[in-house]
């Protein structure tokens, strides 16, 4: 609810403050007194376009502050939270706008600077302004579906969830298809690489083992001649080992002749034992270092193949085995991916059917709600002297390309002003006076449905009087029983239904013209309504009629 409006330096307003209450508040005054200035000032605080023409002549800037009290759970809190603006339920919400004469403007919410766009979004959740030429609010088809859904209590959440699931299934299928398409381009190379690596059958650590074996065989080839020469010196009947054994046999026959000979024989025996061990080692070394040319060639061929494959795939030789497994997995995934697409296609089909089920249920609820809404609006038209008019809520199936989380229906409020006239959008069919009454009828039918906490009607009773004006006043009062309503009016019948009334008037102080606003007492209200009835000269009859109107309104 709007609780206060502070205005400084706006057109003819030097400075004023209005404290508002709930219920129906009425703003009256002579034509040109400045009622539209008040609405322009409030619009500025709500995020409307910053027109430097609003700055009072001679002032450097205009300032407007609008203060609201919000109930817990008001939609504005979600917007404030999204904009990182501190706010607490129970604390006033303060919107402030400063407009410089050069056109620059600044916006604040709870004294925190914000963008004009965010201020406008917050303002739209707080106040609805309806006038004869308003092309927003109820007259904008963009909001008709949401209004109908709230009125009909439509099951929109299941549709939104089904839409998200369908979209996720489509995205998963598209991602898989893109991956498969990219893999298909590598299919031939992948098949060749897998076959090549499988034929090679690399084993981790094999390259190092082959390199070591090859080095040993190459070393054995280099030592073969030396081993042969050593063998010639030691082996055979004239070799060193044979000579030592022959010497030992001869020495053994004469060793008993002298102790030194005995010792010499013992040393020679030890030498023969050591020589035998050396002979064994030489034989083992010869066997180990003997090079098989075929084995060396095979080892070198295998080693070169491993290293060539590693260079080709830009990995270390020891990584070839893992690479082979990886490429095989990719090949398997490619085969499985083709089969998997069929499964994903089925998932998309099922998700679409689930969305359709939810959307069809939503459409059915909307159709039933549309019938109730049409009846409620039609019931309001006759008292507003729109007897020949018809109203309908048009539900049109959307093409599949336009389906969304909100369903597959386009919703628009349409009217026909004459029995023979076709239905059409409100703004194209109804005249100015009719349009304002259609808006009021809709607001009454939709009372409590998607409305902001404050409703403002700007002279929607223009061009009507008598019983129609009374009917308008009655409906505004009914609306005000559930929400705050402000009405700018020239109709005494409407003014009399207000719970509070302000008079807007111009005053002149020398060469300076100002707009002032005064809240009226009961007697002042009677006098103001009498003026509205009779014009410049207030008559006793007008005062009596004003008293009767106020009595009806009370």
What's the pLDDT score for residue 457?
85
Long-range contacts made by residues 318-324, C-beta under 8 angstroms, separation at least 24?
318/204, 318/205, 318/207, 318/208, 320/197, 320/200, 320/202, 321/202, 321/203, 321/204, 322/204, 323/197, 324/194, 324/197, 324/198, 324/200, 324/202
Sign of the torsion angle spanned by Cα atoms 178, 180, 185, 189: positive
How far, in whole angstroms, is CA 453 from its chain's centroid?
27
- Count of C-beta atoms within a 10 Å radius of residue 158: 15
Residue-wise pLDDT tens for the chain (554 aa)? Answer: 999 999 999 988 888 899 998 899 999 888 776 777 888 899 999 998 888 889 988 889 999 999 999 888 788 888 888 888 887 777 889 999 999 988 889 999 998 999 999 999 999 889 888 765 454 556 778 889 988 998 999 999 999 999 999 999 999 999 888 877 777 777 777 778 888 888 888 888 888 888 887 787 777 667 666 766 776 677 766 677 778 878 878 888 887 888 888 888 888 888 878 877 877 777 777 666 666 678 778 888 888 888 888 898 898 988 888 888 888 877 776 666 667 788 889 999 999 999 999 999 999 999 999 999 999 999 989 888 888 889 999 999 999 999 999 999 999 999 998 888 899 887 777 666 677 788 888 888 887 665 567 888 887 777 777 788 888 888 888 888 888 999 988 889 999 999 999 998 887 776 677 788 889 999 999 998 898 888 768 888 888 988 888 886 54
The burial class, CB within 10 Å (0-12 / 13-18 / 19+), for 183 is: middle
Tokens 């409906």: give the residue.
Answer: 475
pLDDT score recorded for residue 135: 45
Report residue 252: phi and psi, to 5°. -65, -30
pLDDT at 140 (0 to 100): 74
Residue with the two structure tokens 């290293």? 307
Q: Which of 409, 401, 403, 405 shows the shortest CA–CA distance to 368?
A: 409
Position 158 scores a pLDDT of 96
Distances (CA, A) of 138 to 109, 128, 343, 369, 412: 27, 9, 46, 17, 10
Residue showing tokens 């006759």 = 382
Query: Would you state the pLDDT for residue 97?
Result: 94
Q: Which positions ≥6 away from 354 have C-beta within 8 Å?
A: 162, 165, 166
In whole angstroms, what is the distance from residue 147 CA to residue 358 CA? Answer: 19
The two beta strands, 61-68 and 93-100, are antiparallel
| Radius of gyration, alpha carbons of the chain | 50
- In sequence order, the β-bridge partners of residue 2 are 68
Q: Residues 56, 13: contact at Cβ < 8 Å? A: yes
pLDDT at residue 230, rounded to an integer? 72
Global confidence as pTM = 0.62
Do residues 425 and 439 touch, judged by C-beta distance below 8 A?
Answer: no
Tokens of 389: 């008019």
225, exposed or middle or buried, with CB in 10 Å at 0-12, 13-18, 19+? exposed
Task: Return the pLDDT at 299.
Answer: 80
Angle formed by the axes of helices 240-254 and 206-234, nearest 10°: 50
> Rounded to the nearest 10 degrees, what angle do helices 75-82 and 116-126 cross at?
170
221, 223, 297 from 216: Cα distances, Å:
9, 11, 13
pLDDT of residue 452: 66
Farthest-apart Cα atoms in the chain, separation: 177
Bridge partner residues of 410 (DSSP): 396
Neighbours of 474 (CB within 10 A): 18
């Amino acid at each position: 609810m709007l609780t206060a409006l502070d205005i400084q330096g706006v057109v003819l307003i030097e400075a004023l403050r209005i404290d508002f209450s709930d219920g129906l508040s009425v703003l009256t005054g002579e034509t040109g007194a400045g009622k539209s200035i008040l609405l322009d000032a409030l619009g500025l605080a709500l995020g409307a376009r910053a027109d430097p023409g609003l700055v009072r002549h001679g002032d450097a800037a205009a300032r407007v502050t609008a203060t609201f009290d919000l109930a817990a759970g008001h939609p504005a809190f979600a917007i404030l939270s999204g904009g990182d603006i501190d706010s607490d339920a129970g604390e006033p919400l303060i919107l402030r706008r400063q407009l410089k004469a050069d056109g620059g403007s600044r916006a604040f919410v709870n004294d925190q600077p914000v963008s004009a766009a965010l201020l406008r979004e917050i303002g739209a959740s707080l106040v609805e302004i309806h006038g004869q030429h308003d092309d927003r609010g109820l007259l904008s088809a963009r909001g008709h579906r949401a209004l109908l859904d709230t009125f009909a209590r439509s099951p929109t959440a299941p549709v939104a969830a089904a839409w998200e699931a369908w979209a996720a299934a489509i995205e998963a299928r598209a991602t898989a298809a893109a991956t498969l398409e990219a893999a298909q381009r590598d299919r031939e190379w992948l098949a060749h690489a897998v076959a090549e690596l499988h034929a090679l059958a690399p084993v981790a650590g094999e390259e190092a083992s082959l390199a070591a074996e090859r080095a040993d065989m190459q070393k054995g080839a280099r030592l073969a001649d030396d081993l042969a020469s050593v063998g010639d010196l030691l082996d055979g009947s004239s070799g060193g080992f044979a000579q030592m054994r022959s010497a030992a046999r001869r020495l053994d026959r004469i060793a008993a002749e002298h102790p030194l000979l005995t010792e010499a024989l013992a040393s020679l025996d030890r030498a023969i034992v050591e020589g035998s061990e050396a002979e064994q080692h030489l034989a083992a070394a010869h066997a180990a270092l003997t090079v098989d040319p075929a084995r060396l060639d095979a080892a070198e061929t295998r080693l070169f193949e491993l290293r060539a494959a590693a260079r080709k795939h830009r990995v270390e030789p020891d990584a070839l085995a893992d690479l082979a497994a990886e490429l095989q997995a990719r090949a398997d995934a490619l085969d499985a991916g083709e089969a998997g697409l069929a499964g994903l296609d089925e998932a998309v089909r099922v998700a679409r059917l689930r969305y359709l089920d939810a959307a069809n249920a939503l459409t059915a609820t909307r159709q039933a709600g549309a019938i109730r809404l049409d009846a409620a609006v039609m019931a309001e038209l006759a008292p507003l002297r729109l007897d020949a008019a018809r109203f309908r809520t048009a539900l049109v199936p959307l093409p599949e390309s336009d389906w969304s989380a909100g369903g597959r229906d386009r919703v628009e409020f349409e009217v026909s002003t004459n029995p023979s006239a076709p239905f059409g959008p409100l703004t194209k069919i109804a005249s100015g006076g009719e349009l304002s009454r259609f808006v009021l009828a809709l607001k009454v039918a939709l009372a409590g449905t998607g409305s902001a906490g404050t409703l403002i009607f700007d002279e929607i009773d223009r061009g009507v009087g008598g019983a129609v004006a009374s009917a308008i006043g009655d409906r505004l009062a009914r609306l005000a029983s559930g929400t705050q309503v402000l009405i700018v009016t020239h109709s005494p019948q409407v003014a009399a239904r207000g719970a509070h009334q302000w008079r807007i008037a111009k005053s002149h102080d020398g060469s300076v013209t100002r707009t002032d606003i005064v809240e009226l007492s009961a007697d002042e209200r009677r006098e103001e309504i009498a003026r509205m009835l009779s014009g410049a000269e207030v008559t006793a009859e007008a005062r009596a009629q004003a008293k009767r109107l106020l009595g009806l309104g009370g």
